[in-house]
């Protein structure tokens, strides 16, 4: 069972959010091999929200290939080129061509942090393996019972910075990408919880863990309420923001509850 939640910065609309996730909606997921992903587009770069969306779709649609950033980009680069061409045509058709001040940003490319998770089943078993890949500060947390089994790729809240590693839509921006890619593997069992988060929520989560709390229980309750309307979740998030317990940034969560 999966649940998803995406909330923009305070004062912004959902269309302004630079986060992206896959699956797009919560529900029952099944299959011998599943992929979920989350990405956070760099706010200061042009069209990063669209690049983040392309990255998560490219990752989740290619379950038959290895979990490698090269495989991801082999799909994402052509998809970006096609999308970018359509975007330019649409701007021209609406008599809103690219302006001179937009050209440097468009040439530089879009940027996004990324985290992807793949789950596979063991033959004749209710359990299985997981593999994860990440660039930047989108995070994955594996919870079993009342214990945090794994946090990836960031281990402590102090590791979050204002300059995370990012994947670029422009290949020239990825010349050092191989040095920033993190990967991890593990095993899952029925009843485990898998949580993928963008950086603001992940930083709050790790601070809560470091304080001896169990934030996964709080999130599990709130995500269910989010699915039923969202008012309680929004009030909870607004309270955290007003108390400066979480940065005023886009907040995204993909939660898996393994049956």
Whether the predicted pLDDT of 28 surpasses 70: no
Residue with tokens 């379950």: 63
Per-residue pLDDT of 29-83, as tens digits, reads: 766 788 999 999 998 888 999 999 999 999 998 877 778 899 999 999 999 999 9
Mean pLDDT of the chain: 89
For the entire predicted model, the pTM comes to: 0.92
Residue 134 CB-density burial (10 A; 0-12 exposed, 13-18 middle, 19+ buried): buried
Q: CA dist 22 to 76, 101, 228, 245, Å?
A: 15, 33, 20, 27
Mean pLDDT of 224-243: 75
**C-alpha–C-alpha distance, residues 51 and 82, integer Å:** 12
For helices 48-61 and 69-93, the axis angle rounded to 10 degrees is 130
The pLDDT assigned to 224 comes to 62
Whether the predicted pLDDT of 18 surpasses 60: yes
Check if the beta carbon of residue 113 is closer than 8 Å to that of residue 39.
yes
Residue with tokens 């599990």: 220
The pLDDT assigned to 49 comes to 93
DSSP 42: -
Q: Show the domain range for 192.
A: 2-257
**C-alpha–C-alpha distance, residues 252 and 241, integer Å:** 15
**C-alpha–C-alpha distance, residues 168 and 254, integer Å:** 23
The pLDDT assigned to 225 comes to 55
pLDDT category of residue 241 using cuts at 50, 70 and 90: very high
Per-residue pLDDT of 155-169, as tens digits, reads: 999 999 989 999 999
The pLDDT assigned to 203 comes to 97
CATH code of residue 230:
3.60.40.10
User: Is the Cα torsion angle 199, 193, 52, 131 positive or negative in sign?
Assistant: positive
The pLDDT assigned to 48 comes to 93
Whether the predicted pLDDT of 2 surpasses 90: no
- Rounded-to-5 percentages of helix, strand, coil across the chain: 35, 30, 35
**C-alpha–C-alpha distance, residues 21 and 196, integer Å:** 9
Number of domains in the chain: 1
Residue with tokens 């919870």: 143
């Amino acid at each position: 069972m999966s649940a998803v939640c995406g909330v923009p910065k305070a004062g912004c609309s959902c269309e302004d959010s630079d986060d992206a996730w896959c699956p797009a909606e919560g529900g029952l997921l099944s299959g011998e091999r599943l992929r979920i992903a989350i990405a956070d587009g760099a706010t200061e770069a042009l069209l990063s929200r669209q690049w983040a969306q392309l990255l998560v779709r490219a990752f989740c649609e290619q379950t038959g290939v290895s979990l490698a950033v090269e495989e991801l980009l082999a799909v994402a680069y052509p998809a970006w080129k096609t999308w970018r061409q359509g975007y330019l045509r649409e701007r021209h058709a609406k008599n809103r061509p690219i302006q001179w001040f937009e050209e440097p940003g468009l040439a530089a490319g879009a940027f996004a942090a990324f985290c992807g998770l793949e789950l596979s089943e063991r033959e004749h078993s209710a359990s299985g393996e997981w593999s994860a890949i990440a660039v930047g500060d989108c995070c994955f947390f594996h919870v079993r019972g009342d214990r945090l089994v794994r946090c990836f790729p960031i281990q402590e809240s102090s590791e979050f910075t204002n300059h995370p590693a990012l994947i670029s839509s422009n290949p020239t921006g990825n010349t050092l990408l191989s040095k920033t890619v993190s990967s991890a593997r593990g095993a899952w069992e029925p009843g485990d919880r898998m949580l993928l988060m963008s950086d603001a929520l992940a930083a709050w989560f790790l601070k809560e863990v470091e304080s001896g709390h169990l934030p996964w229980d709080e999130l599990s309750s709130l995500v269910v309420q989010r699915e039923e309307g969202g008012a309680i979740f929004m009030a909870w998030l607004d309270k955290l923001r007003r108390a400066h317990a979480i940065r005023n940034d886009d907040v995204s969560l993909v939660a898996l509850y393994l049956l």
